[in-house]
Structure 1
Amino acid sequence: MRTALLMTIPYIALACQSSPSSEQSAETQASAHCYQKVTGKDTFLLQLVVDDTDVKGVLEYKFHEKDKNSGTVSGALSDNIFRGTYHFKSEGTTSDRPVIFKMMGEQLYEALADSADANGIPIFATDDSRLRFDPSPYSKTDCK
Structure 2
Amino acid sequence: MRTAVLLSIPIILFACQSSPSANQSAEGEASAHCYRKVTGKDTFELQLVVDDTDVKGVLEYNFFEKDKNKGTVSGTLNHNIFRGTYHFTSEGVTSDRPVVFKMMEDQLYEALYNDIDSNGVVVFAKDDAQLKFDPSPYTKTDCK
TM-score in same-fold range (> 0.5): yes
**Could you say which residue in structure 2 is the equivalent of 1:107?**
107
* 1:68-103 residue CA offsets vs partner (Å, 9 max, x unmatched): 010000000000000000000000000000000000
Q: Equivalent residue of 1:129, what SS?
A: helix
Matches within 5 A, 1:50-65: 50-65=50-65
Q: What CA distance in whole angstroms lies between the structure 2 residues aligned with 1:49 and 1:36?
A: 15
Kindly report structure 1 stretches of 4+ aligned residues shifted beyond 6 Å.
none
Matches within 5 A, 1:79-118: 79-118=79-118
List gaps (5 residues or longer) in structure 2: 1-20
Count residues in correspondence.
Answer: 121
The answer to whether 1:68 aligns with 2:68 is yes
Q: TM-score, normalised by structure 2?
A: 0.81
AA paired with 2:115? S
Q: What CA distance in whole angstroms lies between the structure 2 residues aligned with 1:19 and 1:83?
A: 24
AA paired with 1:82? F
**Could you say which residue in structure 2 is the equivalent of 1:131?**
131
Cα pair distance change 1:19/1:127, threshold 3 Å: closer
Shift of 1:19: 4.1
Greater Rg by CA: 2
Q: What CA distance in whole angstroms lies between the structure 2 residues aligned with 1:142 and 1:91?
A: 29
Q: What CA distance in whole angstroms lies between the structure 1 residues aligned with 2:44 and 2:121?
A: 20
Q: What CA distance in whole angstroms lies between the structure 2 residues aligned with 1:19 and 1:122?
A: 35
Q: What CA distance in whole angstroms lies between the structure 1 residues aligned with 2:61 and 2:118?
A: 23
AA paired with 1:63? F
Q: What CA distance in whole angstroms lies between the structure 1 residues aligned with 2:49 and 2:78?
A: 14
Q: Equivalent residue of 1:74, what SS?
A: strand
Q: What CA distance in whole angstroms lies between the structure 2 residues aligned with 1:82 and 1:19?
A: 21
**Could you say which residue in structure 2 is the equivalent of 1:4?**
none
Aligned-residue identity in percent: 74
Q: Equivalent residue of 1:102, what SS?
A: strand
Matches within 5 A, 1:7-86: 19=22, 29-86=29-86
Q: What CA distance in whole angstroms lies between the structure 2 residues aligned with 1:128 and 1:140?
A: 22
List gaps (5 residues or longer) in structure 1: 1-17, 21-25
* 1:37-71 residue CA offsets vs partner (Å, 9 max, x unmatched): 00000000000000000000000000000000100
Q: Equivalent residue of 2:129, what SS?
A: helix
Shift of 1:117: 1.2
Q: What CA distance in whole angstroms lies between the structure 2 residues aligned with 1:19 and 1:55?
A: 16
